[in-house]
Structure 1
């Protein structure tokens, strides 16, 4: 391949020798490891000749000059461009004004800028260089079902695109649509789509089908109108655009929810000093307010879930391990205490992190707690309700599942467990009629506590929470089921290190 050079006049024909001078650039040494892979032909670099810096500035005057600045340690790039004539004139006027004022430092600074002839490019938001947070990074859009609280990666369906590419109007009949779509989809695809779709998606599909059926009519001679095809394609494109905007909106909502959640371990608001013990997917933590008891705590998940209805089986099993350990701890205590576990899964559309609160009770009060909760649930909200007001969890064929399987996913509910015995559940009809501190009010009345213990509680300080955590951790250490798992993990790590040393 031939090398092309820019035409330049001889050195002797012009006095500006520096402008048209050339400089030789020697090849940089190549890493031996890379040179071995490149082979003998490309192992050694090549020297080349380039024009002077002044000549390059004039030749590339209308292009951007990028200068890398590594002073900040982050590899921030600054972009420069050549000055225009108006900018040079304004800069010269500023030099004259500075000379008249007698500001020698400013004059020298402006003269240097005028000699360089370049200025730094500023972004729209007033910052120089590239974006504030660096380069743009690709993210996976997340879609969320506001009712069930399930969050999953967004999948763009190509069903509408397939229908839009087909120009045959007969394909718009719903029976033919399902028939053709079933031919192109496998069983796994249909199963995945069934899990992804929600009630809103099905309603929108039927609405589109009814709209298409009403518009797809024949004229008097029995022919279809050709304008329906173009109208159909425009609607498909508009629907895809709206769906993408909805995905982006849901993704931003999920990000805001996870960032502002104080129970997610990856959140900046996570209170590490309140954690008593951690499992594989769940952890036990003390509350950050006075509580109904000094040992008032809660069980929650490391990942963000809105209720126990959407948990996996292994996560629910870990929660049961925590409940069994706490029951044994309080039962074998000197005071012989009973305990109550309750979950108030409300405001599911707001994606609040689930928490199962644990409150120890004296044995006499613990024996009467089912009567108190049953009466309070029957008298809650209005007299008439669509759903069954009181759900007895003991009637569940799988009693170890608790409320799971008895309440549909996406429904707000309240569930209470009395130790290891199944308790009661209640489907919340209207959240405004159901108190946020429903269980706290009942337990506070049973213990004859002041309402300040649960109504607008004051957050405790860092030291108070840490002291309370250490007291509960010391008492719970004897019944901590996570120690066996942690020791087994440490043993596995030591075995791996020994194998690496042998190798």
Structure 2
């Protein structure tokens, strides 16, 4: 269902119009008899906009997105040189590794700990990582796996956090997934901490479950037959079975949400029904509770004022500190 919603985003005009008509109907009763008797009126659509109105709306949306892109410090910005050639400027984040669609960087604010890093798409994906295509998502998973192996070599576990406070593209921030390492004994307690935090988060009464299990479920696949030539087909069916469930088939980009991964196969999700009552630092606050860190670390960390060279130096120091080079999957792209 979530996959279909993502693929048909923007094609839900009829549902939206029905919702508008229901909200305008002060006598509306949520029972089948009333809906059947008034279906003609409830399904009546507003007059379509003229071509001129559509043109003005398109121009307005374009200007809004241009402003958003111009102010986004996580984007790779393209500019034109005097000789007519193009120049690609890196984001205002210390970039550790760059894939074709996704990059790994360090926070541009004071990190929660030394290993704190960020996975983000190269293109401006507003809000949710669910809007990323399959190629970009594969790169996100590659970074997750490499980071887990890297921190495991240091005797640490890791959690990945994504907080989407708005589903509106003009208001949503550049998609980003935070990676925060912690000692293995602390990481084993992380699911219990997040479960407790999510049960107490947001409204007391909500339409959605407080905790959505996004763990990918491996389903058994019976072999087609004993013919060796059919083994590839068996493996393909197995991979398809593994994809069922999981984050990308459970959550939707049409609503704000919080999600924590304990491994690339999934974790816990929470639909944010009232962003005014859900703190944007919720995930970092839970991590701070696990690691006994003060509120100043997660609420409003100080922004680091660094030059381009200073950002490059910090990224290089981070790679040396954790031995990133031996786990960096992006090296395969240049081999």
1:396 positional shift: 5.0
User: Are the equivalent residues in 1 in contact too, given 2:113–2:180 (CA < 8 A)?
Assistant: yes
Structure 2: gaps (5+ residues):
22-39, 80-88, 219-240
Partner of 2:116: 296
1:264 positional shift: 1.2
In the alignment, structure 1 residue 446 sits paired with structure 2 residue 298: no
Distance in structure 2 (CA, Å) of the matches to 1:294 and 1:332: 15
- Judging changes above 3 Å, is the alpha-carbon distance between structure 1 residues 441 and 272 closer, same or farther for their aligned structure 2 residues? closer
Q: Provide TM-score, normalisation by structure 1.
A: 0.50
Counterparts of residues 71-470 of structure 1 (less than 5 Å): 196-199=10-13, 203=17, 239-266=50-77, 270-271=90-91, 274-305=94-125, 306-333=127-154, 336-349=155-168, 350-394=171-215, 396=217, 402-420=246-264, 422-462=266-306, 465-470=311-316
1:403 positional shift: 1.6
1:446 positional shift: 1.2
In the alignment, structure 1 residue 473 sits paired with structure 2 residue 293: no
Misfit runs of 4+, over 6 Å: none
User: Are the equivalent residues in 2 in contact too, given 1:343–1:416 (CA < 8 A)?
Assistant: yes
- Judging changes above 3 Å, is the alpha-carbon distance between structure 1 residues 202 and 411 closer, same or farther for their aligned structure 2 residues? closer
1:420 positional shift: 4.0
User: Are the equivalent residues in 1 in contact too, given 2:74–2:92 (CA < 8 A)?
Assistant: no
User: Are the equivalent residues in 1 in contact too, given 2:165–2:256 (CA < 8 A)?
Assistant: yes
Partner of 1:485: 333
Distance in structure 1 (CA, Å) of the matches to 2:149 and 2:209: 33
1:263 positional shift: 1.1
Distance in structure 1 (CA, Å) of the matches to 2:331 and 2:95: 15
- Judging changes above 3 Å, is the alpha-carbon distance between structure 1 residues 434 and 468 closer, same or farther for their aligned structure 2 residues? same
- 1:271 partner SS: coil
**Deviation by residue 1:357-393 (Cα, 9 ceiling, x = unmatched):** 0001011100100000011001111221101111011
**Deviation by residue 1:229-279 (Cα, 9 ceiling, x = unmatched):** xxxxxx77x622222111111111111111111111126885366100100
Relative contact order, CA 8 A, sep 6+: which one is greater? 2
RMSD (Å) for aligned C-alpha atoms? 3.0
- Judging changes above 3 Å, is the alpha-carbon distance between structure 1 residues 290 and 388 closer, same or farther for their aligned structure 2 residues? same
Aligned residue pairs, count: 272
User: Are the equivalent residues in 1 in contact too, given 2:92–2:108 (CA < 8 A)?
Assistant: no
Distance in structure 2 (CA, Å) of the matches to 1:469 and 1:265: 17
Distance in structure 2 (CA, Å) of the matches to 1:421 and 1:250: 36
- Judging changes above 3 Å, is the alpha-carbon distance between structure 1 residues 202 and 461 closer, same or farther for their aligned structure 2 residues? closer
Structure showing greater Rg: 1
1:448 positional shift: 1.1
1:461 positional shift: 3.0
- 2:301 partner SS: coil
- Judging changes above 3 Å, is the alpha-carbon distance between structure 1 residues 201 and 258 closer, same or farther for their aligned structure 2 residues? farther
- 1:410 partner SS: coil
Q: Provide TM-score, normalisation by structure 2.
A: 0.73
Q: Using the TM superposition, name which of 345-354 and 270-279 deviates more.
A: 270-279
- Judging changes above 3 Å, is the alpha-carbon distance between structure 1 residues 443 and 346 closer, same or farther for their aligned structure 2 residues? same
User: Are the equivalent residues in 2 in contact too, given 1:262–1:270 (CA < 8 A)?
Assistant: no
Distance in structure 2 (CA, Å) of the matches to 1:354 and 1:256: 17
- 1:291 partner SS: coil
- 2:252 partner SS: coil
- 1:315 partner SS: helix
Distance in structure 2 (CA, Å) of the matches to 1:404 and 1:380: 23
User: Are the equivalent residues in 1 in contact too, given 2:216–2:247 (CA < 8 A)?
Assistant: no
Distance in structure 2 (CA, Å) of the matches to 1:340 and 1:476: 18
- Judging changes above 3 Å, is the alpha-carbon distance between structure 1 residues 195 and 411 closer, same or farther for their aligned structure 2 residues? closer
Distance in structure 2 (CA, Å) of the matches to 1:405 and 1:392: 11
- 1:404 partner SS: helix
